[in-house]
Amino acid sequence: MTIPDYQTVMLPFLQFLSDEQERSFRETVDNLADHFQLSEEERKEMLPSGTQGIFKNRVGWARTYIKHARLIEPTRRGHFKISARGLNVLKEAPPFINVKFLEQFEEFREFTAKHRKKKVEKTEKDTEEIETTPEEALENAYENLRDNLASEILQNIKASPPSLFEKIVVELLVKMGYGGSRKDAGKAVGRIKDEGIDGIIKEDRLGLDIIYIQAKRWENTVSRPEIQKFAGALQGQRAKKGIFITTSNFSKEAHDYADRIDTKIVLIDGEQLAQLMIDNNVGVTPVQNYEIKRVDSDYFAEE
């Protein structure tokens, strides 16, 4: 089945504690994963940032909300048990527990009021059940912004003169730690224009190995013959490593061929190029930074 949203988790979470025994968060996550019959892949699926598992994050927010509704109470670090109020809720046998259900408790209303920046008139959208946790909503919004930025970057590259594309390749490779200095990289890239090779660049600052580069500002898909031509050029130079960069994309046959040959050829399509530019601040300017923090449990642990 699909990973349940954090509100769907709330009732099974409370039911797991119905025996009034102290439970740990890890134990609760594992039990709920079994309850929802999640596969190993679903249990390991991560948030876009890769910092935490999606299901663990949703269980964590379910715990946060029912804790602020005083349905559970902490016992010691990382452990909790059901409260008297939580037991009373279960006696009522509710079909589900969600944010709207928890709003009957004053403590929960106070908690949500503190996190509401301003009141807005209720709309049909406002009354819909929230499916994502705050981290998911933030990361999904970030991914959308990033994808839109990548698309805009690619459009600008395609509309720019070839000399700028060459400059972008140089700056990106230097920012990623290749080519020694920018001056060295600039001399290397664009220096040779034969046998399917557009330039060479140092793999490290000491120049212990050399990487050959092919850079094509194309609209059409790069197919296998182009990769074969580049591989042949590398063999002619007795080279072992190459990077093929394009503003378009590569066919499946091109990827399959690059994966099979002994020469190591890295294929970077337009989407990946734009994402690498964002990661390395090439052609983009930071506008705002948001730092997400969590409670340091060790700080509050008893000596």
Q: At CB < 8 A and 24+ separation, what contacts does 169-176 make?
A: 169/213, 169/215, 169/245, 171/282, 172/273, 172/276, 172/277, 172/280, 172/282, 173/201, 173/213, 175/280, 175/281, 175/282, 176/276, 176/280
CA distance 119 to 200: 59
If one compares 14 and 214, the residue with the highest pLDDT of the two is 14
Rounded distance, CA 91 to CA 89, Å?
5
Is there a contact between 129 and 7 (Cβ–Cβ < 8 Å)? Answer: yes
pLDDT of residue 126: 44
What proportion of the chain, given as a percentage, has pLDDT over 90? 49
Give per-residue pLDDT as tens, 104-161: 999 999 888 866 643 443 433 443 445 678 888 888 888 888 888 999 999 889 888 8
Q: What is the DSSP letter of 283?
A: S
pLDDT value of position 130: 54
Write the pLDDT tens digit of every residue in 151-172.
Answer: 999 988 988 888 888 888 888 8
The separation between the first and the last C-alpha atoms of the chain, rounded to the nearest angstrom, is 43
Helix axes 106-114, 54-68, angle to 10 degrees: 120
Say whether pTM exceeds 0.75. no
Per mean pLDDT, which range of 188-197, 243-252, 276-285 is the poorest?
A: 188-197
Please give the domain boundaries of the chain with CATH numbers for all domains: 6-132 (1.10.10), 152-279 (3.40.1350.10)
Of 170-174, 208-212, 239-243, the poorest mean pLDDT is in 208-212
**Burial of 245 from C-beta contacts in 10 A (0-12 / 13-18 / 19+):** buried
- Tell me the two tokens of residue 196: 């399917």
Q: Which residues, in sequence order, are CB contacts of 190 under 8 Å at separation 6+?
A: 166, 198, 199
